[in-house]
Amino acid sequence: MEQTFAIIKPDAVERNLIGKVLERIEAEGFRIISMKRVLLTIPIAEGFYHVHKERPFFKDLTKSMCGGPVVLLVLEKEGAIKAWRKLMGATNPAEADEGTLRKEFAVSLEKNSVHGSDAPETAVFEISYFFSQTEIIP
C-alpha cells in the first residue's frame, strides 16, 4: 500500500466542504489513516512550501494557507499518489477534468481547495512534516 499526503485548504474548510471531500476520498477507495484540523502559521507554511521559495507566488501561497483552518490527511491506497492527484484534478480548476475535486469545489487557481503530494519523496517529506509515526494508524 502506498501513502500520500493531502490538505483540505482554508477555502474549502470555510465553505463547509470537509465532509464532501472526505466522502469522495472514501468513495474512491482511499483509507484515511491519519487526520487533523490545524491552523498553520506563516513559518510553518513557509517551511512546508520551501521548494517554492523563489517563485513569485510563494508569499501569497503561504499567506492564503494561513487564512483559516486546514485539514491534514494521510491517505493510503494502491497507487495512492497518482490516484489522489487524479481525483484532485489540475491545479487550475478551469483546466480540471469533470468529476474532479478542483473542478467541483475550487473557486480559483489560488483557492483550489485541496493539495496533494506529487511524488513518493514529496509524500514522505509532507507526511513527516505534520505527523509523527504514532499518529499514523494503518
User: Is 94 within 8 Å of 35 (Cβ atoms)?
Assistant: no
Torsion of the alpha carbons at 35, 36, 37 and 42, rounded to the nearest 10: -110
- Residue 52 annotated among the catalytic residues of the structure: no
- Running DSSP on this structure, what letter comes out for residue 97? P
Please state the separation of Cα 84 from the chain's center in Å.
Answer: 9
Active-site choice (9, 85, 102, 115): 115
Q: Which residues are known catalytic residues? A: 115
